[in-house]
Structure 1
Amino acid sequence: IFGQRLEDTVQYERKFGPRLAPLLVEQCVDFIREQGLKEEGLFRMPGQANLVKELQDAFDCGDKPLFD
C-alpha cells in the first residue's frame, strides 16, 4: 500500500468487493470518528515512529491491524 500508486491499491482491493476508498483510509476514518474526535493535537502531533512503521508494515503485508 505505502509507496505504490493509489490506482494500483484500489484496483487490487476491488477483488474483495466494491469500495469507495482503500481499506486503510476507511479504517483510519472509522477510528478517528470513534476515538479521535476529542483527542487534542490529533493532526498536529506526529505519531510514534516505531508504531507508525509497524502499522505500515502490517498493511503492506496484507494484514488488517487494529488501531489502539
Structure 2
Amino acid sequence: IFGQRLEDTVQYERKFGPRLAPLLVEQCVDFIREQGLDEEGLFRMPGQANLVKELQEAFDCGDKPQFD
C-alpha cells in the first residue's frame, strides 16, 4: 500500500469488493469517527514513529491491524 500509486491500490482492492477508497483509508476514518473526534491535536501532533512503522508494515503485508 505505502509507496504505491493510489489508483493501483484501489484497483487491486476492488477484487475483494466495491470500495471508494483503500481499506486503510476506510479503517482510519472509521477509527477517527469512533475514537478521535474529541482528541486535541489529532492532526497536529505526529504519531509515535515505531507504531506508525509497525502499522505501515502490517498493511503492506496484507494484514488488517487494529488501531486501538
TM, length-normalised to structure 2: 0.98
Identity %: 96
Structure 2 distance, partners of 1:38, 1:7, is 32
Equivalent pairs counted in the alignment come to 68
- Measured after TM superposition, the shift of residue 30 of structure 1 is 0.1
- Structure 1: segments with no counterpart, 5+ residues: none
Structure 2 distance, partners of 1:21, 1:9, is 9
Structure 1 distance, partners of 2:54, 2:61, is 11
- Measured after TM superposition, the shift of residue 61 of structure 1 is 0.3
Structure 1 distance, partners of 2:65, 2:38, is 22
Structure 2 distance, partners of 1:2, 1:62, is 11
List 4+ stretches of structure 1 deviating above 3 A.
none
- Structure 2: segments with no counterpart, 5+ residues: none
